[in-house]
Amino acid sequence: MEVRLAELLKELQIRDSDDLSSASALLNRLDTRLRYKSIYLASTTSTQDVARDLAERGAPEGTLVIAESMTAGRGRRGRRWYAGPGGLWLTLILRPPPEYFQLLGLLSALAVVKSLEKLWGLRAEVKWPNDVLLEGRKLCGILAEAAFIGGGGYLLLGLGINVNNDLPPELKDSAISLKDVLRRRVPRLPLLASTLLELDSLYSSLLKGGAEDVLRELKCRMSTLGRRVRVITPDGVVEGLAVSLASDGSLLLRLSDGSLLPFRVGEVIHLR
């Protein structure tokens, strides 16, 4: 995969490698199990909304909605997501077995982390359940939304990566962009290609029964494990030591009485 990606990225240098409207031609060149097909929008309310409509109408797995900007982007729990020009905003439609829905959100974050290291040597980390942190600040957020239909369903994986977009002043202490880190404008097509290649590899391994290997790699890239954390859920707030992940991606917390408590949902605050 690395050789093929290197060849592809080299070729991209001879044209505008930041032009997301040419993503369709790029995706046709990727050697992947998923047959990626992109829909490019100059602006939309939310790529999640567009992708959901497509999924409900039977769009195949691998359908990708990419936007230059979103006017009503959102994160988990309905929070507003600032998605101005220059970022990488996309939603991917997958149709996996339901038991993998939770884990695939984390694997999307892992795909971004691996891409950042391969492309620019950056050491990012996954924060449970849906963030990519770089230099301790949020670079990427993942929004995984599932729907069940009959015996199956679909999963919408929304990725928002701060690349060249300007961040609101109130987020400067908690968020970061690749432009800030690398001190130059960053071409988005190589990042898109690498992330989709990495995600395809992880997803394929998962479907082939390689969940243990995928989980092992994920745990090595997580900033949450080994820390004392506070988990905020609709049922209340719990503090403990984040010790591991369950096979479905749930966070395992060791409480003060020594018991283990799994969390499938919740907002995590790192205490130390």
* pLDDT per residue as tens digits for the range 61-99: 999 999 999 887 665 555 666 778 999 999 999 999 988
| 191 in the same domain as 121 | yes
| 156 in the same domain as 123 | yes
Confidence of residue 170 (pLDDT cuts 50, 70, 90): confident
* Look-up of token digits 């077995």: 97
* Helical segments of 164-266, H only: 178-182, 188-207, 211-220
Report in angstroms the alpha-carbon separations of 145 from 80, 122, 158: 16, 28, 8
pLDDT in the model for residue 230? 96
Specify the pairing of strand 137-149 against strand 131-134. antiparallel
Average pLDDT over residues 196-203: 96
| 194 in the same domain as 259 | no
Checking if the pLDDT of 113 tops 90, the result is: yes
pLDDT in the model for residue 8? 67
| 247 in the same domain as 153 | no
The total of structural domains in the chain comes to: 2
| 114 in the same domain as 27 | yes
| 148 in the same domain as 264 | no
pLDDT in the model for residue 148? 82
Do the Cβ atoms of 110 and 221 come closer than 8 Å? yes
| 116 in the same domain as 234 | no
Checking if the pLDDT of 180 tops 60, the result is: yes
**Beta-carbon count within 10 A of 183 CB:** 8
Residues sharing a CB contact under 8 Å with residue 142, sequence separation 6 or more, in sequence order:
105, 106, 108, 109, 130, 131, 132, 157, 158, 159, 160
| 255 in the same domain as 132 | no
Checking if the pLDDT of 231 tops 90, the result is: yes
Q: Rounded CA gap, 87 and 85, in Å?
A: 6
pLDDT in the model for residue 28? 83
| 154 in the same domain as 246 | no
Run of H or E residues at 235: none
Portion of the chain with pLDDT greater than 90, in percent: 72
| 251 in the same domain as 122 | no
Confidence of residue 52 (pLDDT cuts 50, 70, 90): very high
The CATH number of the domain where 159 resides is what?
A: 3.30.930.10
* Look-up of token digits 């999924």: 55
Query: Domain containing 158: what range?
Result: 2-220
Average pLDDT over residues 242-270: 94
The CATH number of the domain where 250 resides is what?
A: 2.30.30.100
pLDDT in the model for residue 202? 97
Amino acid at 79: R
pLDDT in the model for residue 14? 38
| 242 in the same domain as 168 | no
pLDDT in the model for residue 191? 94
Does the pTM surpass 0.85? The reply is: yes
| 199 in the same domain as 242 | no
* pLDDT per residue as tens digits for the range 95-111: 999 889 889 999 999 99
Residues sharing a CB contact under 8 Å with residue 245, sequence separation 6 or more, in sequence order:
106, 128, 215, 218, 219, 222, 225, 251, 252
DSSP string covering 91-123:
EEEE---GGGHHHHHHHHHHHHHHHHHHHH---
